[in-house]
Amino acid sequence: MAHGPRSLITGASSGIGAAFARALAARGQDLVLVARSADRLTALAAELTAKHDILADVLPTDLADPGAADAIVAELATRNIEIGTLINNAGFGSHGEFASLDAARERNEVFVNVVAPHRLTRALLPQMLSRRSGTIVNVASTAAFQPVPYMATYGATKAFVLSFSEALAAEVRPQGVRVLALCPGQTDTAFFEGIDEARVGRARTPDQVVATALRALDRGQAVVIDGWMNYLLANSIRLAPRSLVTSMAARMQRPKGKPRSPSAR
């Protein structure tokens, strides 16, 4: 059975988070699994413990709660669990005209996508620096590379994750800590439930996304975009005028039945 610092994964009950859990458990990593669904976390922990003979603690937590990250850190201290790898994967998106979207849900989106990973990183990074060893994976998105009309909050939160991760990677690399911004495109997860109109292109699988992340960590990369088509799209966007990119994104993401504004024609 593995010993030493564990890997903490948020959003671990399904999708990319669960794929990370399975991949790391296969490498002999002990885990701390965080998500809202206690039942799913418990089932996953039992599966991985039985299959790989690892330790897997579960911390059912709603990261939309402003105090969630602090509560996780406090519980880790109570259980005397040290974290060597932090995977900030939990996140969700919304789709529609910003002014008409549910205000509470938009606030929660910022807490889950930005505040929780920021606080967890700030709390757990000093331990890694003191050991001169550690890994942080922040799951951003290809949406981080340009404004996304009708998904304004989501795109902005992922732009924060990307910029924060790139800056932090440069700070801590000399001290032995790796930071990676993982940028998936459309992925076959529950992300699009309720916002099906926002789907664009062909979906990759969670296992493919995780494999991309693990290869990037082995190579010492600070940013990786999953999938060649996503890579080409994200980098071509950087070469185009920002106003043009935003206008094109507005056309692609406009809710069905919503008339085009003159500026978007």
Residue 56 and residue 42 in contact, taking contact as beta carbons nearer than 8 Å: no
Q: Is the pLDDT of residue 184 over 60?
A: yes
Domain 6-264 fold is Rossmann fold (3.40.50)
Give, to the nearest 10 degrees, the angle between helix 206-219 and helix 15-26. Answer: 50
Percent of the chain at pLDDT above 90?
76
pTM over 0.85: yes
pLDDT recorded at residue 194: 58
pLDDT-derived band at 28, boundaries 50, 70, 90: very high
Per-chain mean pLDDT for the chain: 89
User: Which two three-digit tokens encode residue 117?
Assistant: 């990973």
Say which of 158, 231, 256, 258 is annotated catalytic.
158
User: Which two three-digit tokens encode residue 136?
Assistant: 């942080």
Q: Is the pLDDT of residue 146 over 50?
A: yes
Q: Is the pLDDT of residue 86 over 70?
A: yes
255 backbone dihedrals φ, ψ, rounded to 5°? -60, 145
* Cβ-based neighbours of 87, under 8 Å, separated by 6 or more: 7, 8, 9, 10, 17, 20, 136, 137, 139
Handedness of CA 160, 161, 162, 168 (dihedral sign): positive
Question: What digits encode the pLDDT tens for the residues 187-200?
Answer: 886 655 555 544 56
Instruction: Look up residue 123 and give its amino acid.
Output: A
Say which of 150, 154, 231, 256 is annotated catalytic.
154
The DSSP annotation for 168-204 comes to HHHHHGGGTEEEEEEE--SBSSGGGTT-GGG--SPPB
Q: Is the pLDDT of residue 264 over 50?
A: no
User: Which two three-digit tokens encode residue 76?
Assistant: 């880790």
Whether 231 is a known active-site residue: answer no
